[in-house]
Chain A
Amino acid sequence: DAKTTQPPSMDCAEGRAANLPCNHSTISGNEYVYWYRQIHSQGPQYIIHGLKNNETNEMASLIITEDRKSSTLILPHATLRDTAVYYCIVPDDMRFGAGTRLTVKP
């Protein structure tokens, strides 16, 4: 089984921030958390990853709790093209959970 759990779906208004949570309560001390997204019929696309510090890149921000048992991916200004299934995974496992289907609405 995957080491991560996520809500099955979320909606977000275009231009607003999308906050996608992920629980990874069994993560070990040296395991990273990676986020990917998948648009229909394509391979997953890398978004961001982190260990324990918050991270930011041109696509998103990643907030990791101090106990590392959960994290939140933030898309600061969601666009319609951000509609996709978002997955958080712990690479040592490489098994995907069900992910969160994010729908950005106009």
Chain B
Amino acid sequence: GAVVSQHPSWVICKSGTSVKIECRSLDFQATTMFWYRQFPKQSLMLMATSNEGSKATYEQGVEKDKFLINHASLTLSTLTVTSAHPEDSSFYICSAQTGRGYGYTFGSGTRLTVV
């Protein structure tokens, strides 16, 4: 139980375009979701915390106008990377609070490559 589905699993886009990543809780309602970015050989870096129906809270140094987060329902949160540039290439991971014994469940991640 407590599955989070994240897609796409990988995406390649041209510089200057926008990319949307979806994170869905399949068998539970997630009032809180988290978005992370991970560069090679580094740990997960928390980007923002999103709560259903309200604006996301961004970590210091994360541009909220560039990384748009929408958490419009209890089962879906999206991260849109706007005007992507090669330096935005990274592994993006979402997580949701399950409210069950598993605590927090993570998506399988999205590998973004901007060319």
Contact = CB atoms under 8 A, between A and B. Distances in A.
B75 interface: no
Interface residues of B, number: 23
Interface of B (DSSP majority class): strand
A23 B111 CA distance: 31
Interface string B46-60: 100100000000000
B61 interface: no
B55 to A, nearest CB: 18
B95 interface: yes
B48 to A, nearest CB: 11
Contacts of B93: 43-44
Contacts of A87: 43-44
Given A44-B44, A87-B44, 17 more contacts: A38-B44, A41-B111, A42-B108, A42-B109, A43-B6, A43-B106, A43-B107, A43-B109, A46-B106, A85-B43, A87-B43, A91-B97, A94-B34, A94-B95, A94-B104, A95-B46, A96-B43
